[in-house]
Structure formats: structure tokens, C-alpha cells
Chain A
Amino acid sequence: MNAKVKKRVNVTFTHIILIIVSLLFILPFIWMVSTSLKPITQVFTFPIEWIPDPFQWMNYLDAIEYIPFFTYLKNTVVITVLSTLGVIISCPLVAYSFAKLEWRGKNVLFVITIAVMMIPSQVTMIPLFLLFNKIGWVGTPLPLIVPAFFGVPFSIFLLRQFFMGLPDTLRDAAKIDGASEFRIYWQIMLPLAKPAILAVGLFQFMGSWTDFMGPLLYLTDEAQYTLSLGLQQFQSQMGTEWGLMMAVATMMTIPIIILFFFLQKTFIKGITFSGIK
């Protein structure tokens, strides 16, 4: 009985903390949605008016007309989906190799993999552009997609950490059964690393979805533009069309929220090693 009461108190306490912190964390989103429904004159008032009056649903229609929303959306989806796919295919493979396989030069290469992240992208941006320019990829979405198929250092590093955490017993057992390395990877290790792979995929998805500098540099035709470039179009010297801009931002965010809502289950403790033999 005593333990039960204690547990209930604990749960309530957890809820209270979670609710308080949630309130803090939900603010930006509420602000975004609320702004997206306000007429321009209501966007900035002190103190903040959280509930628009009246709801300006027209902002959404106006925003869709202001920029070629659906074209940009389609472009963004293509780039994002392909590059995410690239990361999901390539990174676990490489990470597995770093974590579980024995080969010469592995440690050196791993150090280099970490090291390349330490140079800020602002200075490698130009040479990289010149490279893509030389092979004629500027003006196409390829520079935003293809590199993902060859691995992204921070994803490789993250996945490596997860593979390192998987027990070798499973692998060894399969080896004894005569399974090939690729089969072990594909049938045993990959499923075990699913939460991490999904996390990596999600990050890549978000990264591509909101990337600004990449599309800015590499896309040269308005028909290829992405939504993050479109967001900029709401800024003019008269000021920012906050209502419209936030309408687009909201529409950009919703898919990721839905995606996240369904993915987050996989982050829950769900893997029981005993289940796999």
C-alpha cells in the first residue's frame, strides 16, 4: 500500500515537472501558429496576445499564393526524401564497420571522420561549390542529395556509438552458424539499431527540410526552389509579412511533427535482447 502511494506521488510529481517544462517548450510553436492567424497589425502587441482576434485564416491562402507553395513543397519533399534515404542506407553500413569490424586504418579514418566536422562549413562552402560547379551539378538538386549516399560524418559517429553498445555475443553466435558478415549486419545488427537509425534519419530529414544555405547556393531556377528559400520571400524592406511567413512555417512544420509523433514510439524502451536469437 505504502509503495503504491509512493508511486502515485512520483507519477504526479513527474507530470507536474513535465507540464511545466512543456509549457516552456511549446511557446515558440504556439507563437508561430498564433502569428500565422493574425492580421499584420496584431502581430506585435505588448503584452502578447496569444489568441488572434479574429482568426485570419486567409493568411494561409494568401501565403500559398504569395509564393509558388506547392512547387516549393514538391522540391523540398524530393530533396529531403532522397537525401534521408541516402543517409539511412550509407551511414549504418559505415558505422557498423567502424564499430564492429576489424580492419587496418580504421582508427585513423575514424579520427578523420570526427575531424572533418570541426572545420566550420563557412570556409569549405566555396571550394565545395567550385567542385560541384566543375562537374556541372550547380543548378540541379544533386549537390543536396548525392553526398548523403556517401555518408554524413555526424550520423556515422552517432550510429557507431550505438553499434558499439550492441553485444558481440549475437554476432559471434551467428558467425559460428556460418552467416556472412553482410547477413549478420542486415539481419541482426541493423534491426537492433533501428531507434538510432530512425533518429539519424529524422535529423537528416529535418536538416534537409529546413536547409537554407545549400539550396540558396546550388539552385538557380525558381522552379527548383525549396520552402526555406520561400520563407525569405516574405521579408521585404517594408518589414516582414509575419502572418504569411508563419503560415508557411506552420505548414512546413506540421509534417515533421506528425512524422515525429509516430516515430517517437520507437525511441521507447522496446528492444529486448532475449527476443532475438
Chain B
Amino acid sequence: MAQVTTRKKTPIPPTIRKPFRKSSLNGWLFASPWIIGLLLFYAYPLLSSMYYSLTTYSILDAGEFVGFKNYGELFHDDLFWKSISNTIYFAVFFVPLSILFGVSLAMMLNMKVKGLAIYRTIFFLPTLVPQVALAVLWMWLLNPGFGLVNGMLDSIGIQGPNWLGSMSWSKPSLILMSLWTIGQPVIIYLAGLGDISEEYYEAAEVDGASWFQKTRHITLPLLTPVIFYNLVMGLIGAFQQFTLPYTMTQGQGTPANSLTFYVMHMYDNAFKYFKMGYGSAMAWILFVIIMILTAIIFSTSKRWVHYQGE
């Protein structure tokens, strides 16, 4: 691996040049379970879905080969465009917010205060409650007339919006809900924080660094591998957003398709309208979109992701 840049701001221990180059066989050996798994459980389904995208496959019958017709048709599908814009809207707001919120939470949960174990468990709870229950609870909290949220806003003299019933507020509501189930990224950040060697902080303290300086020059840079991971995964997750809006709107994406996300539209085509070919084409377009975005993130990563190992 390249070990190009050395950072000045972080006190990274000097690296010994790796003198060992013969580990190729070992590398393959270590990775072999996944290579087999990839071939067994991923290659075939992926290639199949790629082939389906060129056919009118309906699950129930094989359909016929139609070349790129499905892809062409997509461009005339209004709901396709609508679902893309909804999905991008969601991703643009959700992904950065989830990182900001997740890192802050994790840092708070990494402090040495009493009752930490309990706090940590609580933050993890929403991810454990079944989705159906979450959906019901949200409708309840956000009910414009009787909900807890508007009730509280009312008491301080603000007329709350009609959250899920309004075309302009439905997506922000969904972003809010999704931030609720941020438990998994928070654990990852916590694990990341746990990996940062105490020595760095000790050294910084000797130099009289403030909390802010420590965060800026030690914590955040050394957390970047994990932030990088959560960024990529958050992006993939945001673009594949499905279960919560689907259960909450009974598959309809109401109001007025403002909550029809890309995968919801894909699912309807594949399973409700028996257009698996079309659905697969949608999946591969999604693939290209996420791939491009991920490639951009990866290409910039050398500039901002710091591995302690380097």
C-alpha cells in the first residue's frame, strides 16, 4: 500500500519501511474465504440481475431479451425522476447530519462520566425496536393535532407544521426519524475512539493542548478511517432507503409521492408490476450513481483519511 503523505499536525509515530514483499500467497490465503464467498453467493446473483436488466423477466416467466430498452424507458418514467430527486434530497441532508450527530454523540459517550454504560445502552435502543413500532410511534409523535412534538411547540407558542402530511415537511421528518436509529454508526465511532492510543493525548496534554485542539488534531484525524467507512456506508444506505418510508406510507410514498424513494419505486416495479427486468435496470443505474459517488470519496480519501498504521 502506498504510504505517501505524512501528516504534520498529528504526532504519528515513525513507520519502519516494510521489508517483506513475499506475502502474496499469504494474502490470497487469508482472503480466500471471501473470494470463495464472493464467487458463490455474490457473483451469480449479480450477473443474473445484470442479465435480467436486459430482459422483460417477470420472476414468473423468463421474458425476452430486449437489450437496453428498460434503461431507455426509465428516462421517460416521471416517477423514476421524482424518486431520484427524493433520494438525493434525503442523502444530501441525512449523510452529513448523521456523521456530525454520530461523531458528537460518540465523543460524549466516550467521556469519563458516571452512568456511561446506561447512556450508551439507551442510545442504542431505537435500533432494537421493530420498524413497525417505530413507524407507529412517529405518526403519533408527529401527529399535527395531538402529537407530542406539536404539543410541545404549541406550549412555547409555535404552530408546528403538519409533519408527515405536508409535502415540504415529509422528507425532513423522515430525516429526523432516521437520525434516531443512529446507534450502529455511534458504536463504530466508539470503537474507533477506543483505538486511539492514549499516548497521543498524554503527549498533547504535556504540551498544554486544549480540548478543542485535541479534538481537532488528534481525535478527528485518527477517527477518519471510521468516518470514511460511515460516509461510504451512509451513502449506500441513504440511496437504498426503503423499509421505514415503505411501512410508514403503506407503500404509497404519500403525500403526493414526496416519500417515494428510489428503491421503493424499484420494488414496486419488480414485485408489484412484475417488471423485474425494469427493476434490475433501476438497480444497476443506482449502482452506477453510488459507484461514482464512492469513487469520488475514495479518490479524495488520501487527502483526509489518516491511518495510524501509516
Contacts and interface: CB of A to CB of B under 8 A. Distances in A.
* A–B in direct contact per CB < 8 Å: yes
A150 interface: yes
A90 B33 contact: yes
A267 B122 contact: no
A268 B121 contact: no
B38 A28 contact: no
A41 interface: no
B259 interface: no
B24 interface: yes
A125 to B, nearest CB: 8
Which applies to chain B's interface (DSSP): helix, strand, loop or mixed?
helix
A252 B126 CA distance: 14
B20 interface: yes
Contacts of B100: none
Nearest to A272: B198
Given A109-B35, A257-B125, A266-B194, A96 B309 contact: no
Interface in B127-150: 127-130, 132-134, 137, 140-141, 143, 146, 148
A136 interface: no
A17 B109 CA distance: 11
B194 A267 contact: yes
Q: Interface size for chain A: under 10, 10 to 19, 20 to 34, or 35 or more residues?
A: 35 or more
B40 A150 contact: yes
B225 interface: yes
Interface stretch (A54-62, A68-76, A100-108): A100-108
Contacts of A2: none
B33 A196 contact: no
B196 interface: yes
The residue among A46, A166, A185 with the most chain B CB atoms within 10 A of its own CB is A46
B255 interface: no
A213 to B, nearest CB: 10
Interface in A39-87: 46-48
Given A149-B33, A151-B33, A206-B128, A27 B108 contact: no
Which applies to chain A's interface (DSSP): helix, strand, loop or mixed?
helix
B133 A246 contact: yes
A97 B276 contact: no
Contacts, number: 305
A210 interface: yes
Contacts of B105: 21
Contact of B45 (A127, A172, A265, A271): A127
B153 interface: no
A146 to B, nearest CB: 9
A168 B3 CA distance: 12
B54 to A, nearest CB: 13
Contact of B15 (A104, A168, A181, A273): A168
B41 interface: yes
Contacts of A93: 30-31, 33
Nearest to A116: B42
A180 B52 CA distance: 46
B266 A120 contact: yes
22 contacts: A14-B113, A17-B108, A18-B109, A100-B309, A106-B31, A115-B291, A120-B266, A124-B49, A131-B45, A150-B37, A158-B233, A167-B309, A199-B188, A203-B184, A261-B117, A267-B187, A267-B191, A267-B193, A268-B116, A269-B194, A271-B197, A272-B197
Interface of B: 1, 13, 15-16, 18-21, 23-31, 33-38, 40-42, 44-46, 48-49, 52, 59, 105, 108-111, 113, 116-117, 119-130, 132-134, 137, 140-141, 143, 146, 148, 151, 180, 184, 187-188, 190-199, 222, 225-226, 228-229, 232-233, 236, 239-240, 242, 263, 266-267, 270-271, 276, 279-280, 283-284, 286-287, 290-291, 294, 307-309
The 6 closest A-B pairs by CB, nearest first: A150-B37, A103-B27, A97-B30, A127-B48, A151-B34, A101-B27
